[in-house]
Amino acid sequence: MKKVMMGTEAAARAAKLARVQVISAYPITPQTVIVENLADMIGRGELNANYMPVESEHSALASCIGASMAGARAFTASSSHGLAYMHEMLHYASGARVPIVMVNCNRALGPPWNLYCDHTDSLAQRDTGWIQYYCADAQDVLDAILIAYGVAERALLPIMINMDAFYLTHTSEVLDVPDQEKVDIFLPPYQPSTKLNVDDPKTFGNVCGADLFTSIKYKRHCDTLSLEKLWDETSAEFRGHFNRLHPTVEAYQTEEADVCVIGIGTGAGAMRLAVDRLREEGLKAGCVRLSMIRPFPLEGFKRAIANAKHMIVIDRDVSFGAEGIVAQEVKAGLFGHHGDAKLTGFIAGVGGNDLSADTIVPLVRQAISGNGTAVRAGKTYWAEVLP
């Protein structure tokens, strides 16, 4: 069924289609529409779930963890400071191996206060053990949430579906909304082999010694590494049902490309337009959108960049004192595989600045020629800095 929806509405619809059983959330702009819609769906009897209007994001994720450990499919959504406030429980969720799916609306962290798009909120949570997926459009949001439950419940790892504040949360698109019956076939009910159960009593999260601790963490690392393959397999299965593909890495015109523009999120559309323009100018350019950042999709990334020699990474985020976080990830991905590759990193489109082809084309030219308006700061260049 075709329907016009905002990204946040798509997220709520996906949670409903996934028949989530416990939703626990705390409001924050621009996530609010997601949880408002879900509360209303439950109120109207369209969704059989328990809604917990908790007093904080820390409790939102904590209660999802409790629900998931009791064997229920759990969902939450947050953004920015809310996600930061969850930090402790992010670690707990992945350590407890609960397959929670969360939507994070990528928004700038204050101060100064800013409601607009920035990826530092979720990228700063890279090391919490969550799988991180970044959406390109609202259809991607809806479909990725369904795929995510399939992946999470097989791997017993939590997944964060990231969507750009306002560019994605508050713009409307025409979506293909899958039928419930078909979703039910793709995504059967969650049936964990182990849960909190009085007929099979177990303790969870006890203190343990160093040897076992090490082995448990090693196992989690290996399971997380396997997620790139598991996501792509589950995504292929999803395509079998719904004829849409959502890979961990998306390449555009990279096969013969010398220059490869790399980024995450909604900026990918502008990157493709920029590539078209640069090709008209005779530059052999391509672009890559990383939809997965954790685990880093190394195999897909290596295939996607093909033989490009110059990587240009656009980061809507920064690791202060270092460089863009995606640039760091890409460097780590290149190391040992593309020893002679050059990388130029830009910080652009943060705090509500638009990331259009008009922004990106001059940055690519600057990366090649060395001339442009982006300001060098350490290993990276900042675009759109006030003089």
Partner 1 sequence: MNEHARQKRDLFTPGHYGCPGCGATLAMQQTLSVLGEDTIVVMPAGCWSTLIGIYPYTCLTVPVISVAFGSTAAIAGGVKAGLTIQGNDHTTVLAWAGDGGTFDIGLQALSGAVERNDDILFICYDNEAYMNTGIQRSSATPAGGWTTTTPDSALKVQKKKNIVEIMAAHRIPYAATASIGAPEDLKGKVKKAKGVKGSRFIHLFASCPTGWRHAPQLSVEIAREAVRSRLFPLYEVSYGDEWKLSPMPDKVGVETYLKHQGRFKKMLASDHQDFQKQVDDDWLRLLDKCRP
Interface residue list for partner 1 (CB under 8 A): 21-22, 24, 48-50, 52-56, 58-60, 62-72, 74, 88-89, 92, 196-209, 212
Residues 6 or more apart whose CB falls under 8 angstroms from that of 72 comprise 21, 22, 190
Instruction: Name the nearest CA neighbour of 231 among 164, 148, 146.
Output: 148
Closer of 54 and 273 to partner 1 (Cβ): 54
Q: What is the dihedral of CA 69, 73, 134, 82, to 10 degrees?
A: -60
Q: Could you tell me which residues are beta bridge partners of residue 131?
A: 159
Do 38 and 90 form a contact (C-beta atoms < 8 A)? no
- Report in angstroms how near the CB of residue 59 gets to partner 1 at its nearest: 4
- Report in angstroms how near the CB of residue 266 gets to partner 1 at its nearest: 32
- Report in angstroms how near the CB of residue 89 gets to partner 1 at its nearest: 6
- Report in angstroms how near the CB of residue 54 gets to partner 1 at its nearest: 6
- Report in angstroms how near the CB of residue 171 gets to partner 1 at its nearest: 33
Closer of 86 and 262 to partner 1 (Cβ): 86
Closer of 87 and 170 to partner 1 (Cβ): 87
Q: Could you tell me which residues are beta bridge partners of residue 275?
A: none
Please give the Cα distance from 120 to 326 (Å, whole number): 10
Q: How far is CA 4 from CA 138, 139, 147, 288, 385, in A?
A: 10, 11, 21, 28, 36
- Report in angstroms how near the CB of residue 276 gets to partner 1 at its nearest: 48
Backbone φ and ψ for 287, nearest 5 degrees, come out as -145, 155
- Report in angstroms how near the CB of residue 87 gets to partner 1 at its nearest: 11
How open is the CA angle 352-327-83, to the nearest 5 degrees?
50
- Report in angstroms how near the CB of residue 212 gets to partner 1 at its nearest: 7
> 316: which 2 tokens?
């809507």
Closer of 27 and 362 to partner 1 (Cβ): 27
- Report in angstroms how near the CB of residue 94 gets to partner 1 at its nearest: 13
> 374: which 2 tokens?
């982006």
Closer of 218 and 335 to partner 1 (Cβ): 218
Closer of 203 and 369 to partner 1 (Cβ): 203
DSSP states of 263-304 = E-TTHHHHHHHHHHHHHHTT--EEEEEESEEES--HHHHHHH
Closer of 56 and 172 to partner 1 (Cβ): 56
Closer of 20 and 285 to partner 1 (Cβ): 20
Tell me which long-range contacts 252-255 makes (C-beta under 8 A, separation of at least 24): 252/286, 252/287, 252/288, 252/289, 253/279, 253/285, 253/286, 253/287, 254/286, 254/287, 254/288, 254/304, 254/305, 254/306, 254/308, 255/286, 255/306
Backbone φ and ψ for 171, nearest 5 degrees, come out as -110, 150
Residues 6 or more apart whose CB falls under 8 angstroms from that of 331 comprise 343
- Report in angstroms how near the CB of residue 17 gets to partner 1 at its nearest: 17
Closer of 35 and 135 to partner 1 (Cβ): 35
Closer of 52 and 141 to partner 1 (Cβ): 52
Please give the Cα distance from 38 to 74 (Å, whole number): 13
